[in-house]
Structure 1
Amino acid sequence: MTQTDIWRLSATDLTTLTRRGDLSATEAVRASIERMDEVNPDLNAVVEDLREQALERAEALDNARAGGKPTGPLHGVPVTIKVNVDQKGHATTNGVVALKDVIAPDDAPVVSNLLKAGAVVVGRTNTPEFSFRAETDNPLYGRTHNPWGRHISPGGSSGGAGAAVMAGIGALAHGNDIGGSLRFPAAANGAVTVKPGLGRVPAWNPSQKVERGLLAQSMSVQGLITRSAADLHLSMPSLITADARDPFHVPMPWRGPDPDAPVKVAFTKNTFGYALHPEVEKALDTARDALTDAGYVVQEIDPPDVFECGRIGYRTLMGEVLTLMQSDIEAAGSKTIQNIFAVYFQEFPPIVETEMVQMLAKRSHYAREWSLFLQDFPLVLSPFLPQPFFKPDRDTEGADGVHEVLGCAVYSYAMNFLGLPAACVPARLAQLPKGPQPINVQIAAQRWREDLAVDAAAAIEARVGQMCLPLWEKSE
């Protein structure tokens, strides 16, 4: 097997080889580093190169295996970590110049869990300032580009992660999501992800000086962006391992009980007055047909009010941001991010003071409505965005730009407010005037049933194929 072949391997295929000794961890990591050297200068997805320590760790893993020690489920898998999460000895910059020297004293739980599973970190990936854009650019590291071409934003805030994994830099990419920051890059790059539900993946940054706001704690989650649904089934059980530093983590297994067969799926094309692009509609139809052929019972029916829930949720989050983050944004943010936040506050008028407390209480009402609905329909297939993914810097173009980028993304941030899991998977490769572009759909699931969402994503992927393959053919 050549180095060219190795970087193409999925994490699932890679671990089959590394755990039985047909491929060394060192060979796997070296292939990923060589691929990074080839594509990252153009993409700027990885902004901190960790090759030296990665090769040292890979050699140690090889020696341990040769000495008879057991291998972890992710033995030798090259991964990337987003720069807004603590990795011991490295700066947790969050894309902000003022934080470039904030060195993490220890690993965050998500990093610890990946390392315990045998993964090898080859680099740290880019994020926008404060990790609060659906785009990835900042004054500290610059812009990340989409491997499909510069006509498409790479998404954000885990844009570096999405671009890296789809270009072949590592088999798994860590990211996080408070309003869509795993799913936006997955949709932009044609990757697969699942936004875990509230409490599923332990989270905490040892470098942080104060606790995050209540909504940041309850809406933000840690996860992975991958090239295939199977790699989520492989890797997420390691990610959800308990860590006492997150006192609200829920220690449940990845796989829940077998659901009633066949699984019922609520299918909706409702975009709440936003125009549904024909290519998005075709993607939805393909996903519906794939699930039907796989044995799911798909019924066209609207779930509880996503628009009201999503808008209220994001406006309440903006109230928390205004209260707790505004001074930091003004003190350390660029003029670009300050202007974007000013428009955010127009698009999502912040809910503050007494009304904020009322909306935090009403969150249970929305969650209860969805919980009851999901008893009958354990999965909900919907658009992720009503239009194909937007161009770079669209959110800098005033109210219209922010409205296209975030205003219409209610299916995204509603799931964060509800605390429900939601997978995002490509269902079509659209041939648009500016170039080819993947179109992703979303699959929301019952609480604690990320596994069901990933199963459905796998069924859609089986029909459509993996988007990395035509992408790699395009670049060769």
Structure 2
Amino acid sequence: MTNPETWRLSATELTQLTRTGDLSAEGAVQASIDRMNAVNPALNAVVEDLSAEALDRARALDIARAGGAVPGPLHGVPVTIKINVDQKGHATSNGVPALKDLIAPADAPVVENLQKAGAVVIGRTNTPEFSFRADTDNPLHGRTHNPWGRHISPGGSSGGAGAAVMAGIGALAHGNDIGGSLRFPAAANGAVTVKPGLGRVPAWNPSQSAERGLLAQLMSVQGLIARSAEDLHLSMPSLIAADPRDPFHVPVPWRGEALNDPVKVAFTKNTHGYELHPEVEAALDFAREALTGAGYLVEEAEPPNVFEAGRTGYRALMGEIHALMKGDVDAAGSQPVRDIFAVYFQEFPPFTGDELLQMMAKRTHYARQWSLFMEEYPLVLSPFLPQPFFKPDRDTEGAEGVHEVLGCAVYSYAMNFLGLPAASVPARLAQLPNGPQPINVQIAARRWREDLAVDACAAIEARAGRMCLPLWHQMQAGGRS
């Protein structure tokens, strides 16, 4: 009989039981399905319920294990997949009604890698239209709500993923990130994630009819959102397994060589003119103290101009989006998303023509500056957003709204333009007028050293605690509104 509390277990805790046979894969999956049935109606995080096929797969895993098969590293771990990535037999709608019948002919590499490791997909999670907002709502599936309360956006574009995993719907949630779409939901929901660097995780959608633009290829990555840093260490080695369908994937091991102690961390509160909220400053100070206490050498040091790199990168991306994607948005997008894109083009004036080519070339200049800086400082601790997370639909409120949501998030999209790993971890539970709200900080790392960023997340988490615990208490007490 399934323990009703099994859904609370982390992926690491689950696999310690499922791999030994102390807990069946079916039991682990059933517990998460029961949790999904209990809380998802209020959240709308999972928009396609895959319970039936998930239980069939879990039973098959149990039979194989009983027959002597060696269980995978994620044996029986319930996971969710974002609806903008191909899963065979299911629609890759990307939140767009016109794509609701775009049925994937095969699994994307991330789905295949997770399943090869023994994970079981229990549902597909919501995203905004075209996966291009830092909030999650669309006319096909509706709005996703943050389990901390409806006064906080769930983030985007992997908002369904972040809300699901922190509410206990699956132990791991797949997401992706072109300008912050893993880290925004992590920050909104108090989860932990690492945006992998360029080439780290194989990516491709078999349903796509054309290749993406070059900057989209260079800035977009696949990843996971989790409730704990140790779950990233458990799961990311499976996610990064090579796939020949991504010819630019780099088969680098998850764990790199040990660095000389102490590991140096550059610490900055520089928000480049944006006001730093006291709660964000307190979270940064806490993270610094946690890393220092864990043996890191944390020094105030200013990295190369993140504002210039970030704004240049996003204006270049907007140039590509305007040329290659605006027509699709105009033809298939809702009026709200068309309005948001119009303001995006105001906030980030698109580079065009020769200037776009020059700014794309300048990407190497910025990346080289950061590479040299990180010879001395392998990690950079910084704000993610300068203020606590914003309310739902803030980006529909014109230029001021888009500026608060995305304009000030230079530490986010700069890392995409540079192709560097960047993790997000909660360092404080702020008591704000509308209720408790997690505050995440960002940790950027040297190229190919996602493991270092996750190690630092674990050190901060060890002192701050896991944000799922106060959240679950609040949800059980009826604290959602």
TM-score range, shorter chain: over 0.9
Partner of 1:466: 466
Letter in 2 for 1:437: Q
Partner of 1:71: 71
Tell me the alpha carbon deviations over residues 33-90 of structure 1, each in whole angstroms, 9 at most, x when there is no partner: 0000000000000000000000000000000000000100000000000000000000
Letter in 2 for 1:247: P
Partner of 2:479: none
Q: Distance in 1 between matches of 2:143 and 2:360?
A: 35
Q: How does 1:358-397 map to 2 (within 5 A)?
A: 358-397=358-397
Q: TM-score, normalised by structure 2?
A: 0.99
Q: Distance in 2 between matches of 1:263 and 1:209?
A: 45
Letter in 2 for 1:8: R
Partner of 1:178: 178
Tell me the alpha carbon deviations over residues 267-287 of structure 1, each in whole angstroms, 9 at most, x when there is no partner: 000001100000000000000
Q: How does 1:210-221 map to 2 (within 5 A)?
A: 210-221=210-221
Tell me the alpha carbon deviations over residues 146-171 of structure 1, each in whole angstroms, 9 at most, x when there is no partner: 00000100000000000000000000
Letter in 2 for 1:416: N
Unaligned runs of 5+ in 2: 477-481
Q: How does 1:423-438 map to 2 (within 5 A)?
A: 423-438=423-438
Equivalent position SS for 1:4: coil
Q: Distance in 2 between matches of 1:44 and 1:391?
A: 17
Q: Distance in 2 between matches of 1:126 and 1:4?
A: 26
Q: Distance in 1 between matches of 2:88 and 2:351?
A: 37
Q: Percent identity?
A: 80
Partner of 2:357: 357
Equivalent position SS for 2:4: helix
1:224 aligns with 2:234: no
1:326 aligns with 2:318: no
Q: Distance in 2 between matches of 1:18 and 1:80?
A: 18
Aligned pair count?
476
Partner of 1:100: 100
Letter in 2 for 1:186: A
Q: How does 1:73-472 map to 2 (within 5 A)?
A: 73-472=73-472
Equivalent position SS for 1:80: strand
Q: CA RMSD in A?
A: 0.6
Q: Distance in 1 between matches of 2:246 and 2:278?
A: 43
Q: 1:2 offset after TM fit, Å?
A: 5.3
Q: TM-score, normalised by structure 1?
A: 1.00
Q: Distance in 2 between matches of 1:95 and 1:316?
A: 25
Letter in 2 for 1:407: G
Q: Distance in 1 between matches of 2:107 and 2:357?
A: 34
Structure 1 residue runs of 4 or more that deviate by more than 4 Å after TM superposition: none
Q: Distance in 2 between matches of 1:65 and 1:124?
A: 26
Q: 1:475 offset after TM fit, Å?
A: 1.3
Contact 2:58–2:76, Cα closer than 8 Å, also in 1: yes
Q: 1:3 offset after TM fit, Å?
A: 2.9
Q: Distance in 1 between matches of 2:422 and 2:148?
A: 24
Contact 2:2–2:27, Cα closer than 8 Å, also in 1: no
Letter in 2 for 1:413: Y
Q: 1:4 offset after TM fit, Å?
A: 2.4
Q: Distance in 1 between matches of 2:137 and 2:342?
A: 18
Q: Distance in 2 between matches of 1:110 and 1:195?
A: 14
Q: Distance in 2 between matches of 1:308 and 1:454?
A: 26
Contact 2:2–2:30, Cα closer than 8 Å, also in 1: no
Q: 1:140 offset after TM fit, Å?
A: 0.0
Q: Distance in 2 between matches of 1:400 and 1:147?
A: 26
